[in-house]
Chain A
Amino acid sequence: MSETTQRRPFTHLTSRTVVLAQANIDTDQIIPARFLTTTTRAGLGAHLFADWRFEAGGAARAHFVLNRPESAGCQILVAGRNFGCGSSREHAPWALADYGFRAVVSTEIADIFRANSLKNGLLPVIVDEATSEWLLAHPGAEVALDVAARTLTLPDGRALSFPLEAFAQHCLLQGVDELGYLLARAGEIAAFEQRA
């Protein structure tokens, strides 16, 4: 596997949270389409939530949560239900990761966004309603994520398990990407093509 696609392993993360309580935050909000005329994946954090972060003239909206000083350095985004719905643009997790987020927590995360996030070291964490409500009501809470144990630990020490498919967990823990795995199946793929 080449160096360029090997990711750093993701085992633990402890961080304060940033909260966007709204449900159904779509990938057009995470990064509007006009920033998609790029041919690289670098630097997209500059456009993360562009129309929520900035006025039409480009000035930062002081009240938007990411522009508040207490949000600096937070690596966990807590959001309302059905985060990442809409467009399949991988630019959305690229922008979140480039900005500095390493995990998104919600009661529900849209399928394509979820798959894209896992491929970019951005951990999608699904929690129950009660946990979500607590997290949404306590922005800035310090939360610990343990990928091997599949747990999210709240500030009071309660550890809640979250679902994470075994293969995705393996890829995160080892920092490997799926392409290497698929390329190693070349023989089986060729045999399938012969049969088909």
Chain B
Amino acid sequence: MSRAPQTLFDKVWARHEVVPESEHAPAVLYIDLHLIHEVTSPQAFAVLRERGLPVRRRERTLATMDHSTPTQTAQVFGGAPIAIDSAARQVAALEKNCAEFGVELLALRHAQRGIVHVIGPELGLSQPGRTIVCGDSHTSTHGALGALAFGIGTTEVGHVLATQCLLQRKPRSLAINVEGTLGDGVTAKDLILAIIGQIGVDGGTGHVIEFRGATIRALAMEERMTVCNMSIEAGARAGLIAPDETTYAYLAGRPRAPAGEAWERALEAWRALPSEPGARFAREVQVDAAAIEPMITYGTNPGMVLPISGQVPERPGDQAFARALSYMGLHPGQPLKDQKVNVVFLGSCTNGRLSDLRAAARVLRGRRLAQGIKMLVVPGSQEVKRAAESEGLDQVFRAAGAEWRESGCSMCLGMNGDVVARGEYSVSTSNRNFEGRQGAGARTLLASPLTAAACAVTGRITDPRELL
């Protein structure tokens, strides 16, 4: 009897089972690539030290620093100390831990440093069929290349450092089938925001999402990363996309991608990965891409999202909803368009890649920021920064009046000195609009790079299609 058709996720999972799961114990799952950063690793290294354990596979481990690092050039390259003492200590701790345990570190001034989820694909380390983990929920980003990539806690970081394995129950599978053409001015960010709005912030809990369909196939590699990045905002364990010619073209020639004969062998293995016809998913959801407009959030989780032409909904009697609107300083029935904006943030693992900067520059070229707007442009990696500078994008941003920074997580999470002030409205290309995410009392509206740039120009919530 022939075996049942398998999904991409089934195949990647099965190929990494050191010990299959049973009624009594989870699977022992082998991890091909472990990315670590300064915030969620120190306590894991401490456990190794307490127990006298080495890092089992140093060559499968790569460290960088991104979350608590400054983005001001003076603090990165200019010799000025890192302004936040505790952040400086955390950065120093990662340097010490990597030196002591023999882990490769792309340190603060390294030319290949950047946000962990930007540099993995950029270096060619994030490859189809791999299992990839990091102590960071946006590890789902790497699923764009057909990897099974998910965020873990610090205790699990310790497990992977010590054993290169994790104990995991296999999640269920969820197919999100996207058909239809995205309109001009409608981006991958709008697509994933619309999907989260459709299935909810817990719509993917307990599941690994496979994004499928003609719309997904037509997305460029970096757009796929934006989609997979926010899988976690729908509660999903991971999000992935089958590898195809777009994937292979992206990976070819990357510094740490296979080359020569190894490339040919890898390609053969990768081509066998996509879900087979008839493969069964635990759940399926259909999404109509043609109906999607530029999207923007209005509340305090990414599921509280609207087409930019929409009005804040009314939900009488819903206290949590009222509380979210009160935090945001918005009221039911209010159109979002023309709402005043104070800050615009372009960057993050969601939208800090070269194509995102190009999109924003498309709007900002030859224009100025509105009076009183502060805009931070933070490339996702030093490589993105160099590439953007080589095509003059930094000049476009600077000429418009925006600040051009060194790479890092920056204003996405307000722990590195880049924060939004209490009560201010920030249109942000990042991934979370939680209360206080960008700084205590900050009010975040998530949107695409195009929308963020349009808002920066007008100082108000603006449909980017008006400026294209």
Q: Is there an interface contact between B201 and A82, defined as CB atoms closer than 8 Å?
A: yes
Which residues of chain B come closer than 8 Å to A21, judged between CB atoms?
319-320
Q: Is there an interface contact between B135 and A88, defined as CB atoms closer than 8 Å?
A: yes
Which residues of chain B come closer than 8 Å to A170, judged between CB atoms?
24
Known: A88-B137, A111-B206. A39 touches B19 (CB 8 A): no
Which residues of chain A come closer than 8 Å to B40, judged between CB atoms?
88-90
Q: How far is the CB of B433 from chain A (nearest CB, A)?
A: 10
Q: Is there an interface contact between A86 and B434, defined as CB atoms closer than 8 Å?
A: yes
Q: How far is the CB of B47 from chain A (nearest CB, A)?
A: 7
- Say yes or no for B156: interface residue by CB 8 A criterion: yes
Q: Is there an interface contact between B414 and A34, defined as CB atoms closer than 8 Å?
A: yes
CA gap between A37 and B163 in the complex, in Å: 26
CA gap between A148 and B40 in the complex, in Å: 32
Subset of 13 A-B contacts with CB under 8 Å: A2-B51, A36-B68, A86-B432, A87-B137, A88-B153, A111-B171, A119-B155, A120-B155, A165-B26, A166-B25, A179-B51, A189-B163, A196-B30
Q: Is there an interface contact between B435 and A28, defined as CB atoms closer than 8 Å?
A: yes
Closest 5 CB pairs of A and B: A116-B153, A37-B86, A90-B153, A39-B42, A88-B151
Q: Is there an interface contact between B28 and A85, defined as CB atoms closer than 8 Å?
A: no
- Mark the stretch among A9-17, A65-73, A95-103, A180-188 that contacts chain B: A180-188
Q: How far is the CB of B12 from chain A (nearest CB, A)?
A: 13
CA gap between A116 and B154 in the complex, in Å: 8
Which residues of chain B come closer than 8 Å to A4, judged between CB atoms?
47, 50-51
Q: How far is the CB of B82 from chain A (nearest CB, A)?
A: 10
Q: How far is the CB of A54 from chain B (nearest CB, A)?
A: 10
Known: A80-B320, A188-B18. A183 touches B436 (CB 8 A): no
CA gap between A190 and B93 in the complex, in Å: 30
Q: Is there an interface contact between B152 and A56, defined as CB atoms closer than 8 Å?
A: no
Cβ-defined partner of A29 (8 Å) among B26, B169, B435: B435
- Say yes or no for A33: interface residue by CB 8 A criterion: yes
CA gap between A2 and B151 in the complex, in Å: 27
A: number of interface residues (CB 8 Å): 56
Which residues of chain A come closer than 8 Å to B42, judged between CB atoms?
38-40
Which residues of chain A come closer than 8 Å to B50, judged between CB atoms?
2, 4-5
- Say yes or no for B71: interface residue by CB 8 A criterion: no
CA gap between A2 and B86 in the complex, in Å: 29
Which residues of chain A come closer than 8 Å to B320, judged between CB atoms?
21-24, 80
Which residues of B pack against A, CB within 8 Å? 18-19, 23-26, 28, 30, 39-40, 42-43, 46-47, 50-51, 53, 56-57, 67-68, 84, 86-87, 89-90, 93, 135-137, 151-156, 158-159, 162-165, 167, 169, 171, 201-202, 205-206, 232-233, 235, 237, 301, 303, 319-320, 323, 413-415, 422, 432, 434-437, 440-441
Known: A85-B235, A88-B153, A90-B155. A179 touches B47 (CB 8 A): yes
Which residues of chain B come closer than 8 Å to A38, judged between CB atoms?
42, 86, 90
Cβ-defined partner of B159 (8 Å) among A29, A87, A165, A182: A182
Q: Is there an interface contact between B18 and A185, defined as CB atoms closer than 8 Å?
A: yes
- Say yes or no for A115: interface residue by CB 8 A criterion: yes
Which residues of chain B come closer than 8 Å to A85, judged between CB atoms?
201-202, 235, 301
- Say yes or no for A110: interface residue by CB 8 A criterion: yes
Cβ-defined partner of B167 (8 Å) among A33, A112, A167: A167
Q: How far is the CB of A86 from chain B (nearest CB, A)?
A: 6
CA gap between A51 and B438 in the complex, in Å: 13
Task: Give a binary string over A154-196; 1 marks a CB under 8 Å from any B CB, 0 the rest.
Answer: 0000000000011100100000011101110110110011001
Q: Is there an interface contact between B235 and A185, defined as CB atoms closer than 8 Å?
A: no
Cβ-defined partner of A110 (8 Å) among B18, B46, B152, B235: B235
Which residues of chain B come closer than 8 Å to A182, judged between CB atoms?
28, 159, 162-163, 165, 167
- The A interface, classified by DSSP as helix, strand, loop or mixed, is loop
- Say yes or no for A26: interface residue by CB 8 A criterion: yes
Q: Which of A77-131 contact B (CB under 8 A)?
A: 80-82, 85-90, 93, 108, 110-112, 115-116, 119-120
Known: A2-B50, A178-B167. A166 touches B93 (CB 8 A): no
Cβ-defined partner of B164 (8 Å) among A39, A82, A189: A189
Which residues of chain A come closer than 8 Å to B441, judged between CB atoms?
51, 56
Which residues of chain B come closer than 8 Å to A37, judged between CB atoms?
39, 68, 84, 86-87, 89-90, 415
- Say yes or no for A8: interface residue by CB 8 A criterion: no
Known: A37-B415, A110-B235. A167 touches B25 (CB 8 A): yes
Q: How far is the CB of A178 from chain B (nearest CB, A)?
A: 5
Q: Which of A24-56 contact B (CB under 8 A)?
A: 24, 26, 28-29, 32-34, 36-41, 51, 56
Q: Is there an interface contact between B237 and A185, defined as CB atoms closer than 8 Å?
A: no
Which residues of chain B come closer than 8 Å to A177, judged between CB atoms?
155
Most buried by B among A56, A86, A110, A111: A111
Most buried by A among B24, B167, B233, B414: B167
Q: How far is the CB of A25 from chain B (nearest CB, A)?
A: 10
CA gap between A177 and B50 in the complex, in Å: 14
Which residues of chain A come closer than 8 Å to B434, judged between CB atoms?
26, 28-29, 86
Q: Is there an interface contact between B436 and A166, defined as CB atoms closer than 8 Å?
A: no
Which residues of chain B come closer than 8 Å to A87, judged between CB atoms?
136-137, 413, 432
Cβ-defined partner of A86 (8 Å) among B24, B30, B46, B137: B137
Q: Is there an interface contact between B136 and A88, defined as CB atoms closer than 8 Å?
A: yes
Known: A33-B415, A38-B86, A188-B28. A179 touches B437 (CB 8 A): no
Identity of the chain B residue whose Cβ is nearest the Cβ of A107 in the assembled complex: B202
Q: Is there an interface contact between A167 and B137, defined as CB atoms closer than 8 Å?
A: no
Known: A51-B436, A82-B201, A90-B40. A22 touches B163 (CB 8 A): no
